[in-house]
Amino acid sequence: MENVLRPLIVIGGSLVVTLLVGWLVDLLLRRADQRHHQVPLWGLLRRCRLPLQFAMCAAMLRGLYDQAEIAPKHSAGIGQVLTLVLIGSTAWLMVRIATAVVESSYSRYAHAHRDPARVRRVRTQVTLIQRVVSAIVGVVAVAAMLLTFPAMRAAGASLLASAGILGIVAGVAAQSTLANMFAGLQIAFGDMVRLGDTVVVNGEWGTVDEITLTFLTVRTWDERRFTMPVSYFTSQPFENWSRGGVQMTGTVFFHLDHSAPVEEMRNKLRDILRECSAWDGRDYGLAVTDSTPSTMEVRALVTAKDADDVWTVRVTVREQMLRWLTVHHPYALPRVNTADAILPPGTASQNGTENHRPRARGRAVEPPRTGRG
């Protein structure tokens, strides 16, 4: 009878104590969160309940397993398994606690500062710090697990003796990986690019969606994802439209006939922008920036609060201005002029008459189409 009750008391008691302590800790954290709702740390620490229960249960079973006298022939193997579970659950608990502290610090900083650029910079830094801490804890936990095996402890001396050579070989073999890891830290603390920044890489513009220690993901306007090594952003030039602020100035170019009513176009641009909700009202303008023998180039200048809105303003101005010109001023559209060749004065043409005035004809053509950007 004792052989049956003792294992039940040890295992059942460990489970009951684990569940009771987990419930009590969760209750205290819930009350602290309700009392100090402005501090998100207590609510985030409630995520640690499961790894805490695993660690407590493994520790209690590991300490009381010998008294339970369950399967004495396999006590060494079961004890080894419980030790591995204890190390893994402790590492899991440490990662959860570190994540809660980091997220709580970032949340308080984001509420205290209203500058979006500074908030994105801190968010990028704390995200990479969290990943580094998780990686370090994971490596230490795996090393501790390996050292619990006698064979690994016996090989420790030889491993330490050859650590220098292995380090050199590993450094050469993982040169690109190490370069990306250091580039990730440089991006986080050098403030070159942050989460949420609008960037242009390889001719495509998008938003930085994810930053890790080795790669960076850019989400384009059409929902595509570009995954690039972080070393690209430390070795290649790229455009960061959010650097120093997210406000944008956009341009719309028109190629029109020389007779186009520029002043009326300027008034029409003002009317279009007043009806466009994406325009931020900061500035606008319209000017002739270039001319060719057959057309002139007119540039419309618009502003918006970010890259998405400036794109909306540009396409709206382009569409409505061309429609207005087509309906009210069709002569302003670009033309392809054809005429007889003008001969030098006093030179007779092929029909024997002197060439005085060319005969000109023209037809309107569609303006060149422009894509996004």
What does the domain layout of the chain look like in residue ranges? 2-163, 178-240, 248-364
SS3 356: coil
d(CA 258, CA 369): 19
* 248-364 maps to CATH 3.30.70.100: yes
The architecture that CATH gives domain 178-240 is: Roll (2.30)
Q: What angle separates helix 116-147 from helix 75-112, to the nearest 10 degrees? A: 170
pLDDT of 318 reads 94
In this predicted model, what pLDDT tens digit does every residue of 165-177 receive, in sequence order? 445 544 544 455 5
pLDDT of 77 reads 73
Strands 215-220 and 204-211: antiparallel
In this predicted model, what pLDDT tens digit does every residue of 273-291 receive, in sequence order? 999 988 988 889 999 999 9
Tokens encoding 325: 């010109």
pLDDT of 317 reads 94
pLDDT at 354 over 60: no
Q: Do 178-240 and 248-364 have matching folds? A: no
pLDDT of 266 reads 92
pLDDT of 7 reads 63
Query: 125-163 in b/e burial notation, b at 16+ Cβ within 10 A?
Result: bbbbbbbebbeebeeebeebbeeeeeeeeeeeeeeeeee
Model confidence, pTM: 0.45
Average model confidence (pLDDT) for the chain? Answer: 75
pLDDT of 158 reads 53
pLDDT of 315 reads 93
pLDDT of 364 reads 46
